[in-house]
Amino acid sequence: MEIAKNNFELNDLLQNINGNLGFVPTMGSLHEGHISLIESSKKLFDNTVVSIFVNPTQFGPGEDFEKYPRNENNDIAVLKRHKVDLLYLPSASDVYPNDYAPISFTSPLTNKLEGALRPGHFDGVIQVVYRLLSLVNPDGIFLGKKDAQQLKILSLMIDQLTLPVKVHACEIIRENNGLALSSRNAYLSKNDKVSASTIYKGLLSAKAEFRSGSLDTEVVTAAFIDSIDPSIIKNIDYVSIVDQATFTPTNGSINSDALMLVAVRFGSTRLIDNIELTI
């Protein structure tokens, strides 16, 4: 595996690559969710490039930028084991040089749900992914469905700016108990991880309610709320059912393919998850 530690090295290495390119952007601290993105890329593309960059612009004041788990040596070993072709490990000045003009793209979706609770978060994600795409210039980008709103916003950006890259959305990878994998799970103890699986149980209850014929948004939402253990999850930031295609909240009856999106606080850690409610 080649490693590019700056843009000069990246350009050099990219020039020597033959064939098409799949790209997996990450913030490191890699887990099986990332590995599944990498393996999907390797199946479809001649070469797979992974980036690791903990992007400061997507963290708000008081969020966990400083303590975000960083595991570079272990990540490099994991990527070598999975035979990734190229790892891009930029510094902040490679991604955001002084003369860099931010891309102007926004969507009303950036201020909803996660965006309402984390102002500026999606603007930071848009900036970094646009910049990484312009540096790496891949044919495909691999993104996880766990960050469903991020996936939607980035797909809109790529579509509306007609960027020449295809989005590949990959399934959520879960622990055996259902907890969705996330680098932030590193903040949870072993017992916490068992308890946090109540989130997925709640999502499954909502899906079962929906599948049994309840199309009422309130009834399906209540199935989630009623089935999670309130002694474990004391704060629900949001539970929302949105139309899968437009991300507009379903009011009243769920009459198109939908997604239930949830964000809860588990101690001092925020966890997000979602489940598809398909007709």
Which residue's CB is nearer to ligand PAF, number 31 or number 42?
31
Site for ligand PAF, rule CB under 6 A: 25-27, 55, 58, 125, 128-129, 147, 150
Tokens describing residue 46: 């001649």
> Catalytic residue at 31?
no
Residue number, 163 or 215, with CB nearest to ligand PAF: 163
The distance of Cα 35 from the centroid of its chain, to the nearest Å, equals: 13
Cβ at position 180, least distance to ligand PAF in Å? 13
CA 131 to chain centre: 17
CB of 34 to ligand PAF, least distance (A): 8
| Nearer Cβ to ligand PAF (130/266) | 130
Torsion angle of alpha carbons 223, 229, 234, 239, nearest 10°? -20
**Of 174 and 201, CB closest to ligand PAF:** 174
> Residue 156 CB, nearest distance to ligand PAF (Å)?
14
Q: Which of 153, 151, 166, 152 is nearest to 105 (CA)?
A: 153
Q: Residue 73 and residue 272: Cα distance in Å, rounded? A: 27
Tell me how far, at minimum, the Cβ of 128 lies from ligand PAF, in Å. Answer: 5
Q: Which of 34, 82, 121, 168 is catalytic?
A: 34
Q: Which of 109, 271, 61, 77 is nearest to 183 (CA)?
A: 271
Known catalytic residues are 34
